[in-house]
C-alpha cells in the first residue's frame, strides 16, 4: 500500500491554500542609470496588481 502525501496545505486550511494561488512572484529587470548594468527586482504581489508593478 502506498504512503499518502501529508502536506500542510492538505491537512490545514483549504481556504488559505486557495488564497495563496492568487499571489505571484514577479521579476523585473531594472537598468541602473549610473552604470548601465541591469539588476533584478523581485517581489511577490497579488495577481491583480501585476500590470501596475510592471508599469512603474
Q: Which of 42, 41, 45, 43 is nearest to 23 (CA)?
A: 45
pLDDT digits (tens, 9 = 90+) for 2-56: 666 655 455 567 777 778 889 999 999 999 999 999 999 999 999 999 999 888 8
Is residue 45 situated within a structural domain? yes
Instruction: List beta partners, residue 31.
Output: 38
In a domain, 49, yes or no: yes
Q: Is 36 inside any structural domain? A: yes
Inside any domain, residue 39: yes
pLDDT at 10: 59
- Nearest alpha carbon to residue 26 among 53, 56, 55: 53
Q: Establish if 26 belongs to a structural domain.
A: yes
With H, G, I as helix, E, B as strand and everything else as coil, classify residue 24. Answer: strand
pLDDT at residue number 3: 61
Predicted structure pTM score: 0.58
Instruction: Give the distance, in angstroms, between the CA of residue 16 and the centroid of all CA atoms in the same chain.
Output: 15
Identify the domain containing residue 41 by its residue range.
22-56
Is the residue at 12 inside a domain?
no
Domain count, the chain: 1
DSSP category for residue 3 = P
Amino acid at each position: 500500500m502506498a504512503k499518502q502525501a501529508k502536506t500542510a496545505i492538505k491537512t490545514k486550511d483549504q481556504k488559505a491554500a486557495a488564497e495563496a494561488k492568487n499571489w505571484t512572484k514577479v521579476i523585473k529587470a531594472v537598468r541602473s542609470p549610473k552604470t548601465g548594468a541591469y539588476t533584478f527586482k523581485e517581489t511577490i504581489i497579488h495577481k491583480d496588481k501585476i500590470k501596475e508593478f510592471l508599469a512603474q
